[in-house]
Amino acid sequence: MTNIQRPEHWAFMGSFGEVTIFSRSGTDITMDTHDGDCCILETPVDILPNEKTRQSSSWLVDKLPSELPEDLILTHDYVSVAIRFDNRRDLTYLWRTDLPTNYHFARPLPRWCDRETHRIVESGTEKLGQWEDAVRPAASDYRKAIGGPLR
């Protein structure tokens, strides 16, 4: 990949540092990862979530990072799109080969289990290499996976 850089208006989460796996073209963000890459890229969005709030993304995934169960601490390896709410709780949407769609679980790492919940939005390998559009009802997903107030 050429011109690998952090996309404009996005920042690397401090605990992971900067990496060179991202590139941009217009509003699209491309990620090209290799074994051992680890990063969280984030940008603030100033909205008050309600029943009409939707999380929308388009994915083109050629290969998933692991075929092992993501909900175990030793096999925790994934690519995702997440929403961090004002209460500092994250709802993370991801694609897995081994867990069923709509399954949700707390991130199985000690520092993260009380703040990040994963929700499987795509399962299996049949759609790898194809564009997948996802539109999720953020408030409803939050209530089902985490519960409590959004703020």
Cβ-based neighbours of 129, under 8 Å, separated by 6 or more? 60, 61, 62
Written as six digits, the tokens of 55 are 């999380």
Does the pLDDT at position 2 exceed 60? Answer: no
* SS3 call for 137: strand
The mean pLDDT value for 129-135 works out to: 89
> Hey, how many other C-beta atoms are within 10 angstroms of the C-beta on 138?
21
Q: Where are the domains of the chain?
A: 1-38, 53-151
Q: Quick one: residue 121, left, alpha or beta (phi over 0 = left, psi -120 to 50 = alpha)?
A: alpha
Alpha carbon 151 to chain centroid, angstroms: 20
pLDDT at 39: 65
pLDDT at 30: 76
**pLDDT tens digits along 50-91:** 888 898 888 888 877 777 666 766 666 667 778 888 888 888
Query: Which pTM does this prediction carry?
Result: 0.77
